[in-house]
Structure 1
């Protein structure tokens, strides 16, 4: 029902490539060009500047991208809500989520989902990312939410929400540190980290590798099984922890922790849904669609 030209434009704008857009949408490149030309003709503007083989968005293109994202999201929501009128969802949905997601992301989403689908019986298994993936493979859960960067071939992953890891210290500790350090300073700093198998540790290790650093070279005082344990430990010790920024947003505003910027070492990650390959549909798909429509509120 939505204007397909907007979808074409969005794919070109996100990739800054007509070729990649045609591959993602499974239509020819001339068709992509035709849709973009029709939009430019409709609004009497240029949407892209072309320089050789490269394209960039014009100011008009940036404006259209903002509106097209909202319009296409509204169409998705409309289709979803209209389909709900024809289906009464009942049954059991067994979710599994890594510790950070279970504690800091899922609670408000689960609350609104239960209100929307009161006849669905929800259960939640909590563990680190490896635990959740194991539970999926053993069919103990129907849908997982994980936070690592490791991808198992027998599972299908769908991106859900962006996240960032930050280094934090207790501002009242005896650890004298500047607001910004270099990755090469890390071996000299006492650390408390999440346990093996956690997505948080996976991302931190990957970031270290970009600077030829290994976990074994660091001064790790303790590995703990939850972010809350790390936060409590930091409140009573002189060391630095690596945690999700989502887990400490309120404490940072209250001045309970101080963020230390590790220069040139970003620790970005994406929370993802995980399913067994080929096992799609049902209540798991309903929950995924609901979560993807409401993730901007999280």
Structure 2
């Protein structure tokens, strides 16, 4: 039903890489180039700027990309509507999650949801918060589960669970199982998440409220995964703030310990985001309601001797 040239264009516009677009579509790279060139000739404009060894969208390309996404959404809606009338519809739920949620919570959430909705076809993707919200805005996923507020004007976000960040240190570190003052952090070496990470944003805001700034601290390494950060701390490369869900195994094995920071509030909420407009419908709406009412019961209990009380199940609204 969809124009193939627009499909090729959309894949190339998303990755800004013709090779990746060819791999996604299972066609050759010259075929991608041919389809893009034919589309440019048909429209009489250049859609990509290929100068200096880098592919970027031209102004015309950015305009077309917006409409290509809208056309795909309309085609998808038409296919679903026809399937409903014919009785052949198979519900699909596409969920994106930031890395902490995607790795440590999403499998349990989807498994619990699947018990009540066994006929739903599930698919997921993960990335940092900014990447997941971009996928949501571009209609590549139905819902986004992210850490903290969704700082975009084109999506709406609602909290579904509370989380706490904890400070992890090597098992033989002088701060292991100790209470420290927030000013002590200025003498430590840190391993941090990359810019665009919801976890990094929470830490930066908490430090600022406590009178410190992340850039004033000594950062030895920046990594794009929580698992990489935990491995770096185990190796003695520094200390790090992570979600208490992420460090369950390491605390059980004794390879990492917690340090409790007095005067530093590191609580946050996990939120479910969807595109502005009507509330989620179908399987996306069902999963949205499930998160608001049952997410706490569906997840493993976090570990760690926290000074704050254990998170309570949110009340359904």
Match of 1:14 in 2: none
Instruction: Report matched runs for 1:35-50 at 5 Å.
Output: none
Indicate conservation of the 8 Å contact 1:147/1:199, yes or no.
yes
Instruction: Report matched runs for 1:153-232 at 5 Å.
Output: 153-172=153-172, 175-177=173-175, 179-232=178-231
Indicate conservation of the 8 Å contact 2:193/2:222, yes or no.
yes
TM-score, structure 1 normalization? 0.66
Deviation at 1:238, TM superposition (A): 4.4
What are the superposed Cα offsets for residues 234-253 of structure 1, whole Å, 9 maximum, x if unpaired?
11114211100011123223
How many residue pairs align between the two structures?
210
C-alpha change, 1:112 and 1:177, in structure 2 (3 Å) is: closer
Match of 2:63 in 1: none
Give the superposed CA RMSD: 2.0
Indicate conservation of the 8 Å contact 2:165/2:241, yes or no.
yes
What are the superposed Cα offsets for residues 3-58 of structure 1, whole Å, 9 maximum, x if unpaired?
xxxxxxxxxxxxxxxxxxxxxxxxxxxxxxxxxxxxxxxxxxxxxxxxxxxxxxxx
C-alpha separation between the residues in 2 aligned to 1:230 and 1:238?
A: 9
Match of 2:291 in 1: 291
Q: Give the gaps of 5 or more residues in structure 2.
A: 1-87, 300-317
C-alpha separation between the residues in 2 aligned to 1:128 and 1:296?
A: 22
Residue 252 of structure 1 aligns to a residue whose secondary structure is: helix
C-alpha separation between the residues in 2 aligned to 1:125 and 1:108?
A: 15
Residue 247 of structure 1 aligns to a residue whose secondary structure is: coil
Deviation at 1:186, TM superposition (A): 1.5
Indicate conservation of the 8 Å contact 1:170/1:238, yes or no.
no
TM-score, structure 2 normalization? 0.62
Residue 230 of structure 1 aligns to a residue whose secondary structure is: helix
Residue 153 of structure 2 aligns to a residue whose secondary structure is: coil
